[in-house]
Amino acid sequence: MSIVPAPVARQPWGMLFPLLILIGFGALVLYSAAGGSWEPYAASHLVRFGVFLVMAIVMTLFSANLVKFATYPVYVLTLLLLVLVEAMGQINGGSQRWLNLGFMQLQPSELMKPAIVLVLARFYSDLPVGMISSWRALVPAGVLIGIPVALVLVQPDLGTSLAILFGGGVVMFLAGLPMRWFAILGAAGAVLTPLAFFFALQPYQQRRVTTLLDPASDPLGAGYHITQSKIAIGSGGLTGKGFNEGSQSHLQYLPEPHTDFVFATMAEEWGFIGGLVVIVCFALILRWGLLVARRSKDRFGKLVAAGMVATIFFYVAVNLLMVMGFAPVVGIPLPFMSHGGSSMLTNMICIGSLMMVNRWNSRQGSSGLTH
Amino acid sequence: MKLGKSKRDHVSSTTLDQAFSRRSFVIGGAMGGIGVLLAGRMAFIAIAENEKYELESESNRVNLSLIAPRRGWILDRNGAPLASNKADFRVDVIPDQLIDTRATLAALGKILDLDATAMADITKRVDEAASFQPVEIATGLDYEDFAAVSVRLPDLPGVIPQRSFSRYYPTGPSVGHLLGYVGPANAEEYEEEGNPLLITPGFKIGKDALEQQFEMDLRGVPGARRVEVTASGRIVKELETREDVQGEPVHLTIDGPLQDYAARRIGLESGSAAVMDCRTGDILCMSSMPSFDPNSFSAGIGSVEYAMLREDERVPLRNKVLKGLYPPASTVKPMVSMALLRAGVDPEERVQCSGGLRVGNRVFRCWKRGGHGAVDMAMGVYQSCDVYFYAMAQRIGMDPIALMARRCGMGQEFDLPVISQFYGTVPDPAWKLKKYEREWQPYDTVNATIGQGYMLANPLQLAVMSARLATGRHVEPRLNRKTPVKGFDMVDFSDEHVRYVRQSMSDVVNGPGTAGRARLPIEDVLMAGKTGTAQVVGLSNSDGRTGPWKYRDHGLFIFFAPFDNPRYAGAVVIEHGGGSGSAYPIARDIMTFMFDPEKGMEALSALEAQWGGTAQQRLIGKYTAYAAAAGETVTPAPTRSEEIFDQVEAEARIASRQSEQIAESVVVPRPEADPRSAPRVPQASPATAIPTPESTPVAAPTQTPST
């Protein structure tokens, strides 16, 4: 018998440890970003994590049937919230992305990221196996993805609509849609991307892309963010300038040091070592998530878990590529470290879903061949 | 391949699971790949390029700003400041950093209570300035104004209030032409030098005359302030400050009080006076009036004031000592006499003057229509008999006279630290042929011997001529105390000739000469001199004494004293003064001031009472009147507060003389100097000590009265 009680030992510590490290580390960075203070970022960061962890544990208890049953209503509800936000924006005369819930500002577009994964997983798990290479596997899924993407795009929020597309796309890919469709899509994308750049993007979005290619072209304008972020990371060196010693963040050269550029804030003070810790933690969490997906015997569970992993990964990858000057500045925070309720909610929903699928897996394992 | 094909035809749940396994593996691999890419990218930025980014981070964090160095003082021969610095507060704006230029300037105008004229000037300067170049809004502010601007700074980006020093010229217009003035560097000056100091707020460079000439000595080394700043430019903390090093003082040969006296004595006339020390060549004064007040240029000259100076037909912007060229007229006669003596003319030989002399087919008149009768050389000088010189000059020809004129300094450029000097003309046959391609005519010689025709000289050349004639040595003028004394080993003329010319020039003043009223009111000092009246237009236009100002004759006078052992030599030129009568009383008073300041000052005070104040007071008055006529409101120039500068004022000489007189007699100690009585706070009087000013020059000025 282990001295650790069974309910504790049962928890997926391989994921929880790196997660707790990220949350704690994030709190320290936010403490520094506030100029050496728990308020206003670090304390609420920890409180929100606490609340959403409880939420994730509660999610763990949901059965597969319950989740499947709730999938379409949740998707529709989220769509309605998106429409509501858009309508409120029209009334207030300006673009609005969030609803004020009092304790936090909720972005319905954030909720759509896990929702799209759930709804597509449900759709493909219900789809008769033989239809996977027919138009009936593609068109409904396209509609399910297209409506929220369109709604988020008009907000306009390019980053989030790309995240929804990515999450949905990964689920479709893993659902087993014919490979040639993706090849055609890739080819079409290569053709359409330049067209989209010139005709679909807003001028401010175009500028972000052009500055990415040459930040020096506009050092005080759109290139400023990327330049300052690279200076912060680069000046950190191997071990950083020391806790609370980051001049780039403390003297406000770094834009958004507590949200989108939290990684740069961290890297300036903790250096390459700190950055490596963060990247390894994310790698461990995502690897665990993918293992959960692969271990699942249930098609729904597989697709949900993999889709959630993809959603978290999209956040992490785009954010880190952005702060290191590989991606344009799109407002995407770093999961578990950036200050912000909505992204914490989304990512904890993803974590909760993964823990839920993980529990389904262990139930299957213990009950043997009962399904 | 077979499996793949069959999969497309027959899809089962198992094949989908296999596809998931395969594809999730691919996705996991892609994720890992991106993770490795990110880690590599970070290693590249943070480790390989660390040095570069660390530098950039530092240059973000730390802002280095220069502190304008205090300018070196310009001191007179006794160490009293002719130009010093006054601590005050100033406000600049940097056009680059202004968000709403008009609104910011309007706000500043309101806070500082600037009038419409000043606002118009400032707006113009801001519009014309290069965007990075600080533009002066106001200087000489008191602390209240400074504080009022400082508290509003958050709403006024681009506005820089600071403590600073402004240039201060205690005797104002008296030194305007001599010293020049200072002002912010303009865009071309910055381009040329490329020194960031030039665009440091509050920094000024010399713009004219000695201020410009000695710029590199006076400039000093800027201080620097390293501060930590936020992205928005707010200063978080000061890291370190390096003090500025004040510029080197420049020690001139100028005698401050004399410079002031001469300038003031010229009074309402337009003219100049130069005085030299015959024993060293030191230029004691180079006063040119009317002038401008360099103090008002230093604070950024107003357009109204500038317009007033430019429109004045008496050209107050020109230094007449160096850049005024006049026919020397009869003042050349002692020099021509010297030429005649050297050519072997017997001074006792007489020429009959009957009021004119026929040369060729023209009759050249003597100024005395009735004629002088039999005239020898001495009489030719003291009575300024033209006929004597017409006759004698024709005998020896022009070349020896021209040679002598050049030897005496005419037509010469002196080795002086000045921006420019006009050196005039000494005509001779070769010159005329080259310039006009015409032969030299006898009447050219006649004209030249009385200093008319082509002959032109500036007042400093006349002063040098006077000094060389008086001493017989090749006196070289010098302006900087560091310049070695030169020329005294070169004997130009024999003692016998020198004595003869000295005596004849003394007779001009002290004998039966043309300038009896120039006699010094001092018993034992006899001044020698020579009058000159230069005709500027033809006789048909004016009689030289009345009529339009600019048609009147120039009045000239060269002099030295004491005549038998020359100590000082000089020249006074009054433009359109109506004849030499306008010049020699000024020379007399200047020399009186040198030997007896009290008597000199008495004469000046009486005159200034008639004229309506000192030159500085009159200039302010004139500006007020001019501006009122132009329909503008005017703030009068601030009255001076630092009495320490009184030293270079003419009155200071009397005070210093008093102590000197006591010094040569038995001094009865006063009670406060008795060591047994209670100590008293010493009263710093300008004559005995200089209170330490806020910015002490490297060499503290000490009072050594010159005698």
Write down the domain spans for chain B. 63-251, 256-611
Say which of A130, A279, A324 has its CB closest to residue B45: A324
3 state SS of A100 = strand
In this structure, of A44-58, A89-103, B684-698, the range with the lowest mean pLDDT score is B684-698
**Whole-number pLDDT of residue B668:** 38
d(CA B681, CA A35): 56
Instruction: Give A-chain residues touching B49 at CB under 8 angstroms.
Output: 234
**Whole-number pLDDT of residue B657:** 56
In a domain, residue A268? The reply is: yes
Domain that holds residue A205: 13-359
Say which of B20, B27, B50 has its CB closest to residue A234: B50
In a domain, residue A368? The reply is: no
As a whole-number percent, the residues of chain A with pLDDT over 70 amount to 91
Hey, are the CB atoms on A230 and B45 less than 8 Å from each other?
yes
**Whole-number pLDDT of residue B702:** 38
Contact B265, B607 (CB under 8 A): yes
What residues 164-203 of chain A have any CB closer than 8 A to a CB of chain B? 170, 173-176, 178
Closest CA of chain A from B233, distance in Å: 9
Tens of pLDDT along B379-406? 999 998 989 999 999 899 999 999 999 9
How many A/B residue pairs have CB atoms within 8 Å?
136
Closest CA of chain A from B249, distance in Å: 43
As a whole-number percent, the residues of chain B with pLDDT over 70 amount to 85
In a domain, residue A72? The reply is: yes
**Whole-number pLDDT of residue A92:** 66
Tens of pLDDT along B61-120? 887 778 888 899 999 999 899 999 888 888 888 877 777 888 888 888 888 888 777 788
Say which of A173, A176, A267 has its CB closest to residue B46: A267
pLDDT tier at B694 (50, 70, 90 boundaries)? very low
- pLDDT tops 90 at residue B274: yes
In a domain, residue A6? The reply is: no
* Burial of B351: CB neighbours in 10 Å, binned 0-12, 13-18, 19+: buried
Closest CA of chain B from A272, distance in Å: 6
Tens of pLDDT along A291-307? 999 999 889 999 999 99
In this structure, of A223-227, B471-475, B660-664, the range with the lowest mean pLDDT score is B660-664
Tens of pLDDT along B508-523? 999 888 888 889 998 8
- pLDDT tops 50 at residue B309: yes
Tens of pLDDT along B46-73? 999 999 999 988 888 887 778 888 899 9
Domain count, chain A: 1
Does A275 contact B at CB distance below 8 Å?
Answer: yes
In this structure, of A34-43, A316-325, B33-42, B179-188, the range with the lowest mean pLDDT score is B179-188
- pLDDT tops 70 at residue B634: no
Other C-beta atoms closer than 10 Å to the C-beta of B244 total 17
Hey, are the CB atoms on A251 and B236 less than 8 Å from each other?
yes
Cα B624 to chain centroid, rounded: 24
pLDDT tier at A217 (50, 70, 90 boundaries)? low
Pick the residue from chain B with its C-alpha nearest to A251. B230
Q: Which residue has the higher pLDDT, A321 or B541?
A: A321
Closest CA of chain A from B682, distance in Å: 54
- pLDDT tops 50 at residue B689: no
d(CA A68, CA A61): 14
In a domain, residue A170? The reply is: yes
**What does the CA dihedral B537, B540, B544, B545 come to, rounded to 10 degrees?**
-150
Which two tokens mark B343? 């050519």
Tens of pLDDT along A112-146? 999 999 999 999 999 888 888 888 888 999 999 99
Hey, are the CB atoms on B56 and A324 less than 8 Å from each other?
no
The residues near B352 (Cβ < 8 Å, ≥ 6 apart) are B373, B374, B375
Question: How high does pLDDT run on average in chain A?
Answer: 86
Which two tokens mark B121? 């000037």
Position B224: which residue type?
Answer: A
Hey, are the CB atoms on B54 and A237 less than 8 Å from each other?
yes
In a domain, residue A3? The reply is: no
In a domain, residue A371? The reply is: no
Hey, are the CB atoms on A133 and B8 less than 8 Å from each other?
yes
Tens of pLDDT along A149-173? 998 888 777 788 889 999 999 999 9
Does A82 contact B at CB distance below 8 Å?
Answer: no
Closest CA to A99 of A119, A117, A118, A78: A78
What residues 125-154 of chain A have any CB closer than 8 A to a CB of chain B? 129-130, 132-133
- pLDDT tops 90 at residue B2: no
Contact A157, A97 (CB under 8 A): yes
Does A20 contact B at CB distance below 8 Å?
Answer: no
The residues near B158 (Cβ < 8 Å, ≥ 6 apart) are B93, B94, B95, B96, B97, B98, B99, B104
Say which of B11, B45, B60 has its CB closest to residue A233: B45
Closest CA to B403 of B491, B335, B484: B335
Question: How high does pLDDT run on average in chain B?
Answer: 81
- pLDDT tops 70 at residue B132: no
pTM for this predicted structure: 0.67
Q: Which residue has the higher pLDDT, B211 or A209?
A: B211
Hey, are the CB atoms on A247 and B53 less than 8 Å from each other?
no
**What does the CA dihedral A248, A249, A252, A256 come to, rounded to 10 degrees?**
130
Instruction: Give B-chain residues touching A275 at CB under 8 angstroms.
Output: 39, 42, 46
Does A98 contact B at CB distance below 8 Å?
Answer: no
**Whole-number pLDDT of residue A213:** 64
- pLDDT tops 60 at residue B667: no
**Whole-number pLDDT of residue B643:** 38
**Whole-number pLDDT of residue B545:** 75
- 3-state per-residue secondary structure call for B374-434: EECHHHHHHCCCHHHHHHHHHHHCHHHHHHHHHHCCCCCCCCCCCCCCCCCECCCHHHHHH
Average pLDDT over residues B255-282: 92
Pick the residue from chain A with its C-alpha nearest to B13. A129
pLDDT tier at B621 (50, 70, 90 boundaries)? confident
d(CA A40, CA A34): 7
**Whole-number pLDDT of residue B548:** 82
d(CA B602, CA B60): 66
Contact B245, B69 (CB under 8 A): yes
Hey, are the CB atoms on B35 and A279 less than 8 Å from each other?
yes
Determine the residue among B6, B7, B10, B11 to mutate to test chain A binding: the one whose Cβ has the most chain A Cβ atoms within 10 Å.
Answer: B11
**Whole-number pLDDT of residue B681:** 36
Instruction: Give B-chain residues touching A235 at CB under 8 angstroms.
Output: 50, 53-54, 56-58
Average pLDDT over residues B603-608: 90
Position B174: which residue type?
Answer: S
Instruction: Write the CATH number of the domain with boundaries B256-611.
Output: 3.40.710.10
Say which of A268, A283, A294 has its CB closest to residue B24: A294
Report the top-level CATH class of B63-251. Answer: alpha beta
Contact B264, B614 (CB under 8 A): yes
Tens of pLDDT along A332-350? 899 999 998 888 999 999 9
Instruction: Give A-chain residues touching B229 at CB under 8 angstroms.
Output: 251
- Sign of the alpha-carbon dihedral angle for B675, B677, B678, B684: negative
Hey, are the CB atoms on A302 and B20 less than 8 Å from each other?
yes
Say which of A232, A237, A313 has its CB closest to residue B47: A237
Cα B473 to chain centroid, rounded: 29
- pLDDT tops 80 at residue A331: no
Hey, are the CB atoms on B50 and A231 less than 8 Å from each other?
no
Say which of A231, A247, A276 has its CB closest to residue B39: A276
pLDDT tier at B192 (50, 70, 90 boundaries)? confident
pLDDT tier at B34 (50, 70, 90 boundaries)? very high
d(CA A173, CA B24): 9
Q: What is the enclosing helix (H) or strand (E) of B356?
A: strand B356-359
ipTM entry: 0.91
Closest CA of chain B from A13, distance in Å: 20
pLDDT tier at A80 (50, 70, 90 boundaries)? very high
Hey, are the CB atoms on B13 and A129 less than 8 Å from each other?
yes
